[in-house]
Structure 1
Amino acid sequence: MSDQLLARAAASLHGLALGDAFGSQFFVPANRDHLSARSLPPAPWQWTDDTEMACSIYRVLADHGGIDQDELAASFAARHDFDRGYGPSTNRMLRLVREGGDWRELSAGLFDGKGSWGNGAAMRVAPLGAWFAGDAAEAARQAELSARVTHTHPEAVAGAVAVAVAAAVTAADPGLPAGPFLDRVAEHVPPGMVRDGITEARRLLTIGDPALAAGALGNGRQVAAHDTVPFTLWVAARHRDDFETAMWTTAVAGGDVDTTCAIVGGIVAAGPQAHLPRQWRVRCEPLPGWAAAPPLTF
């Protein structure tokens, strides 16, 4: 396992956690004035289930070089902290896995056998894309494996694939213009609402107002992949070179702000020139020790 792979995926993980923790602050009413003023909320910033699950993905990659679904399911269940903001269906599923349940049956059985189309598989997957930078097809394949552990609905899988490929492309080709960036991502996303949203995000790149873009693309308020991923890719396409601007642009659109900021943060931080500002990082809760992610060197 190369140090470069570990460092690249860890950088994305740090960016994801920072975005998650930053976005989660705006569910606190007292902090909403900070959003309108674009001033940083007071410390400490705690991350949520987005980061906890992303740490499991990072750990499985570091240990196996790819997604071992059984290991990932076991890690999700073992590390599950009810107080991190998991949805009720995921809470129940992970509890049952800990009690010996088969994750394949439990995941496929969610929502009357349709599977979850939520944004949970997309929110955690950016470090995987960074790991497979330069091989977008493999990033897409591995993202599907990671998604199906908890989300079997095709739209949830498509959302995870889109985010992973976006991180892979950002890491491998950071100078790619916004339009071709979204085109590259869409090539690997199966037909459906997520891909249709990416196509619409491409059309809206000339719009500078995130509220207008989110009005057309969604901001995660439905907690669905198709309502979350297209807007995050719209932001990432426009601001891959500026973590702070990407975060504020994402947050002002409202909705599922911790998750949208986590996705954008993980994509942007996958880039080789990414800079996570120190004044933000010192406010953020550290990654858990069990993730064993190397610290940032910038």
Structure 2
Amino acid sequence: MTFTLYPDTRRTLALDSLAGLSVGDALGAQYFVPGNSAHDLLDARLPAAPWPWTDDTEEACCLVACLGDESDFDRDRFATLLASTFDPYRGYGPGAVVMLRQIREGVPWPVAAAAAFDGQGSAGNGAAMRAAPLGAWHADSLARAAGQGARAAEVTHAHPEGIAGGVAVAVAAAVATAARLDGDRPDLLGAALAHTPPGRVHDGLARARSLSGVERAAYELGNGTRSMASDTVPFALWVAARYLDDYPAAVAACVSAGGDVDTTAAIAGGVVAAYTGVDGIPPAWLSAREALPDV
């Protein structure tokens, strides 16, 4: 990558990714509503608007609000914003609710994150679900995307697998954005694999490279049912790599696979929109998504 990005360009790229993330999240969440069927989406029948977004989008908006010209991602500001903004009724898991309430009440974020899950730290998919816009911001350096992805993940995820999920998605979005600017078709899974530390997320990405077919990929990799980074990120990035130039097909693949649909669609949607730009998202889908929060 030989290009230089200026702040206004970085922000535009991050906002494109955020649009893809939030639409994927909001549409995916509709398939937890009784009466909405994945077969309807495959037949181009959409749920009734508006589509409310979930915690995936709320956290991603907080992350984008903290992107700036600083040398490193401002974790203190991010933690404060997450804690002051979060709405537990947006689908936050109980562990996240406890942690963010602790931070809101004055517990330092490193202490709250380390104490989660009996001192193991969170290995969940929460850091990954919000990471794509950060990767788009750092499209001129995959190493930088990986490093800053880890910093952003550590605010809420002290477990190595939770951090690895955030790193993998940030790198995937960075390489997708760089390919958009360079006009190339990237090896998205290979790039994410190269920058993701050893562990279960890394192993899942390695397996993903040899898979074909949504049903098989979801079976082998997981579809987010356990809400862990390891059973969410490899599949979501497999979808993004397979449907990188087709945003509707990427979201439809996540919906058809079931599981934690709002989060897999948020991750895949954020990465794919980093490649296609906001023009790749159907206008009707954008208008159906609930307006983004004013963070």
**What TM bracket, shorter-length normalisation?**
over 0.9
Mean CA deviation greater in 25-34 or 116-125:
25-34
Query: Is 1:287 matched up with 2:292?
Result: yes
Query: Is 1:203 matched up with 2:207?
Result: no
Aligned length: 286
Residues 6, 184 of structure 1: alpha-carbon distance in 2 compared, 3 angstrom cutoff: same
Q: CA deviation at 1:34?
A: 2.4
Partner of 1:27: 32
Question: What is the SS of the residue equivalent to 1:111?
Answer: helix
CA–CA separation in structure 1 for the residues paired with 2:228 and 2:20: 22
Please show how residues 1-298 of structure 1 align to structure 2 within 5 Å: 2-32=7-37, 34-35=40-41, 37-62=43-68, 64=70, 66-174=72-180, 176-177=184-185, 180-204=187-211, 207-208=212-213, 210-271=214-275, 273=277, 275-290=280-295
Residues 211, 163 of structure 1: alpha-carbon distance in 2 compared, 3 angstrom cutoff: same
CA–CA separation in structure 2 for the residues paired with 1:143 and 1:284: 26
Contact persistence 1:74–1:97 (CA under 8 A): yes
Q: CA deviation at 1:241?
A: 0.5
Contact persistence 1:126–1:167 (CA under 8 A): yes
The amino acid across from 1:218 in the alignment is: G
Q: CA deviation at 1:66?
A: 4.2
Contact persistence 2:113–2:156 (CA under 8 A): yes
Question: What is the SS of the residue equivalent to 2:123?
Answer: coil
Contact persistence 2:16–2:277 (CA under 8 A): no
Q: CA deviation at 1:62?
A: 3.6
CA–CA separation in structure 2 for the residues paired with 1:176 and 1:220: 30
Unaligned runs of 5+ in 2: 1-5
Q: CA deviation at 1:138?
A: 0.5
Identity across the alignment (%):
51
Contact persistence 2:7–2:69 (CA under 8 A): no
CA–CA separation in structure 1 for the residues paired with 2:276 and 2:266: 18
Question: What is the SS of the residue equivalent to 1:10?
Answer: helix
Mean CA deviation greater in 37-46 or 148-157:
37-46
Mean CA deviation greater in 105-114 or 45-54:
105-114
CA–CA separation in structure 2 for the residues paired with 1:257 and 1:232: 10
Question: What is the SS of the residue equivalent to 1:71?
Answer: helix
Q: CA deviation at 1:173?
A: 1.5
Provide the aligned C-alpha RMSD in A: 1.5
Q: CA deviation at 1:272?
A: 5.0
